Amino acid sequence: MLDGYLPAKLSEALDMMAECDCIPFAGGTDLMVQHARGSGVRPCFDKTLLFVSALKELKTFDLMGKTLRIGAAVTLSELLENAATPQIFKEILRQMAAAPTRHMATLAGNICNASPAGDTLPYLYAMDAEVILQSRNETRVLPVADFITAPKRTQRKNDELLTGIRIPAAEFNVESYRKLGQRKGMSLTKASFLGLASTANGRIEDIRIALGSVAPHIVRSRKIESKLTGKNIKDIPGILQELQKDYSALIRPIDDARSTAAYRKQVSLRLIRDFLINCMLKKIP
């Protein structure tokens, strides 16, 4: 079955979401692959599609104070072209898929797909980003980390659309991102690491570490991060083992066609170590 609506306005879209059980369809770069039945055959969806990528209300991109607000229909390419997009986020986006896919794919789709391998997620977790969920009668705001409950599961109710993403601003002077795939371009992530920190006078003021594809959810722990905040950088080596042990308990990867659990675990710990030792120590004045 293949039925779809192309609403002209957001309110129309929300009406449809309220009245019938629809699948929101943005770039379709996940949906089309997941529902493919073979070449020359239409994909098979068990519900009506609601095409959201043409909704003007969702094409917005602005700064409210210091918070970046990204509409749900903004594509990854548009994010890459926008001057307001932080450099480290651009580095992440540039390593996603390739240009043709990025022209279609949206940030909202990457979030709602809720895959632990979703490449924008470590950044959104690290930045304490929030999603805006709208239904005909209600608007809610949830942290991305709460919105995603399990692989492929979110808190989105049947009648809700994700309409926007908010990323609060934060400044860092240490930034490190590594995406490991099976090859250098056009590859899904087998493990990823994001480390962000701001330091002053050899002290850590803020530090955020997030890892993708190495557990059923994105790994980020404020508890472990708090062991580092306020510390002198030169004291990191002394607590490194403890920190690695803490992270090791959270990193629970699997064996699959793209990598092994053992590799994912070890490489994650190595990346954490590299960030904490090699990247951070450079910041000792």
Partner 1 sequence: MKTGISKAVERTDARKKIRGEAEYIADRHFEEQLYAKTIRSSKAKARILEIRLPEMPADYFAVGRNDVPGLNRMRTVVSDHPIFAEEQVEYIGQPLFLLVGPDREKLCDLADMVNIRYEEEAGVFTLEEAEKQDTVFTDYQYRKGDPAAAFRDAAQIIEEEFRTGYQEHAYLEPQGIAAEYRNGILYVYGSMQCPYYVRNALLETMAIPDKQIRIIQTVTGGAFGGKEEFPSLTACQVAVAAKKTEKPVMMIYDRDEDIRCSTKRHPSLIRCRAALDKNNAVTGLEMDVLLNAGAYNGLSPVVLQRALFSATGVYDIPHLRVRGRNYRTNMTPSGAFRGFGAPQSIFAIEMLMLQIAVRLGEDPLEYKMRHALKQGSQTCTGGKVREEVKLPEIVGKIRKMSAYVKKQKNKKPFSGIGASLFLHGCGFTGRGESDIRGKVILSKDKDSVTLRVSSVEMGQGAETVLRKIVAQSLDIPIEKVNYAQVDTGAVPDSGPTVASRTTMIVGGLLQECAKEMKARWRECDRLEIEKVYQHPSWLHWDDSTFQGDAYPVYSWGANIAEVEVDPISYEISVKKIYAVYDVGVPVDLRTLDGQMQGGIAQGIGWATIELMEGEAGRLKQSNLTDYKVPTSMDTPEMEIAYVNNPYPYGPFGAKCAGELPFVGSPPAVAAAVSDALGRKINYIPLTPESLMESDNED
Residue 267 within binding range of partner 1, rule CB under 8 A: yes
Residue 258 within binding range of partner 1, rule CB under 8 A: yes
How far apart (Å, rounded) are the C-alpha atoms in residues 147 and 219? Answer: 15
Which residues from 27-56 bind ligand FAD, rule CB under 6 A? 27-31, 33, 52
Q: What is the closest distance, in whole angstroms, from the C-beta atom of residue 152 to ligand FAD in the complex?
A: 8
Which residues from 122-161 bind partner 1, rule CB under 8 A? none
Comparing CB distances to ligand FAD, the nearer of 4 and 238 is: 4
Q: What is the closest distance, in whole angstroms, from the C-beta atom of residue 63 to ligand FAD in the complex?
A: 21
How far apart (Å, rounded) are the C-alpha atoms in residues 37 and 42? Answer: 7
Comparing CB distances to ligand FAD, the nearer of 7 and 118 is: 118
Which residues from 116-175 bind ligand FAD, rule CB under 6 A? 118-119, 156, 161-162
Of residues 198, 263, 277, 283, which one binds partner 1 by CB under 8 A?
263
Q: What is the closest distance, in whole angstroms, from the C-beta atom of residue 273 to partner 1 in the complex?
A: 8
Choose the binding region for ligand FAD from 107-115, 234-242, 256-264, 277-285 (rule: CB under 6 A). 107-115
Residue 270 within binding range of partner 1, rule CB under 8 A: yes
Residue 68 within binding range of ligand FAD, rule CB under 6 A: no
Q: Which does 119 bind (CB under 5 to 8 A by kind): partner 1, ligand FAD, none?
A: ligand FAD
Which among 73, 82, 80, 69 is positioned nearest to 52, based on CA atoms?
A: 73
Residue 38 within binding range of partner 1, rule CB under 8 A: yes
Residues that bind partner 1 (CB under 8 A): 37-42, 178, 180-188, 257-260, 262-263, 266-267, 270-271, 274
Residues that bind ligand FAD (CB under 6 A): 23-31, 33, 52, 72, 96-97, 101, 104-106, 108-110, 112-113, 118-119, 156, 161-162, 188
